[in-house]
Amino acid sequence: MRDDLPTPARPLKIGTRGSPLALWQAHEVRRCLMAAFALPEAAFEIVVIKVTGDQIQDKALREIGGKGLFTREIEEALLDGGIDIAVHSMKDMPTAQPEGLILDCYLPREDVRDAFVSPGVASLAELPAGAVVGSSSLRRRAQLALKRPDLRLVEFRGNVQTRMRKLEEGVAHATFLAMAGLNRLGMSGMARGPVEVEVMLPAVAQGAIGIERRMADDRVQGLLAAIHDRETGERLAAELAFLARLDGSCETPIAGLAVIEGRTLWLRGELLRPDGSASVAGELRGPVADGAALGRTLADELLRRAGPGFFG
């Protein structure tokens, strides 16, 4: 056996949030590594880390610090050596990693679409005027306000199970979740159906799982290279460059999606005013290898068209 592989005596420590979906993702990373290197489950240790974003449920993320609230404590453990890798939902990740960390491994991407979830209404189009829709996503709220200004939007945070309970309690008539999360949890039947990307362009990197490591850890780099999905990485290179150029945060409604067709990458993007009063959308096609440059170019074009003060 290679001496750089994890063993039960020296397990690879996988850091994760403690929600059911986060744990599923960590277990999937473990499963992939086990299969790639014929390792036993005991060669890995799942380390659950409490993050601020999961502990504060009664406020919008933009009010308490944004996306970093789901990653800060995990990244601190990675830098301190308490864990060897960190597993993240990529749509929750800030556009830049702390010094010394890198995110360059992705598992195959799941369904990128949003899921319409409602106990009593079949689709978004069938929601009656005045219906209450719960969502914590500024992007979804802005898209809904643009398409359906007759709806009433309320803050709706928590994991999948918490949000389903809120629906059952009548807090809202409907909500939207990531189809990827429902599929991974075996809960796709909870959705009335996916919302096509032509109706609601998804969040950048939605449906993708990323694995973060210490930049100087060559051993872990070698392990992760064996499970990296190249196409997901190519698509995210364009989407994340698009988001980074826009300085995307929880205060900025941004949607983006890259699709690969042969050796051509098709990137779509959308900027919205937070109140849904206006949007600017566009798309570009180019070589897959130029994905990051395409992302920056599309971002610049949408910013030019939006003009100063668009988000204000």
DSSP 33-76: HHHHHT--GGGEEEEE---HHHH--SS-HHHHT-GGGGTHHHHH
pTM for this model (two decimals): 0.91
Check whether 27 has a pLDDT greater than 80: yes
C-alpha distances in Å from residue 209, one per residue of 33, 44, 233: 14, 18, 10
Single out the residue of 167, 163, 175 nearest to residue 127, CA to CA: 175
Q: How many domains does the chain have?
A: 3
For residue 31, the model assigns a pLDDT of: 98
Asked if the structure places residue 88 within a domain, the reply is yes
CATH of the domain at 245: 3.30.160.40
Determine contact, residues 242/202, Cβ cutoff 8 Å.
Answer: no
Give the mean model confidence (pLDDT) for residues 183-196: 95
* Contacts of 15 by beta carbon, 8 Å cutoff, 6+ apart: 26, 47, 49, 74, 77, 78, 82, 83, 85, 86, 87
Asked if the structure places residue 300 within a domain, the reply is yes
* Contacts of 237 by beta carbon, 8 Å cutoff, 6+ apart: 291, 292, 295
For residue 96, the model assigns a pLDDT of: 87
Together in a domain, 64 and 124: no
Together in a domain, 23 and 58: yes
Domain limits at 264? 240-304
Per residue in 55-85, pLDDT (tens digit) is 444 444 454 445 566 688 999 999 999 999 9
Per residue in 70-129, pLDDT (tens digit) is 688 999 999 999 999 999 999 988 888 999 999 999 999 999 999 999 999 999 999 999
Element of type H or E holding 230: helix 230-245
Q: Which residues of 83-95 are buried (b: 16+ CB within 10 A; e: fewer)?
A: bbbbbbbbbbbbb
β-partners of residue 154 are 134
Asked if the structure places residue 203 within a domain, the reply is no
Together in a domain, 101 and 18: yes
Determine contact, residues 273/279, Cβ cutoff 8 Å.
Answer: yes
Asked if the structure places residue 200 within a domain, the reply is no
Determine contact, residues 237/244, Cβ cutoff 8 Å.
Answer: no
Asked if the structure places residue 28 within a domain, the reply is yes
Asked if the structure places residue 202 within a domain, the reply is no
Distance from C-alpha of 151 to C-alpha of 131, rounded to nearest angstrom = 5
* Contacts of 35 by beta carbon, 8 Å cutoff, 6+ apart: none
Task: Give the active site residues.
Answer: 92
Determine contact, residues 239/254, Cβ cutoff 8 Å.
Answer: no
Confidence bin at 1 (pLDDT 50/70/90): low
C-alpha distances in Å from residue 265, one per residue of 114, 209, 287, 291: 22, 20, 6, 7
For residue 117, the model assigns a pLDDT of: 95
Asked if the structure places residue 69 within a domain, the reply is yes
Check whether 201 has a pLDDT greater than 50: yes
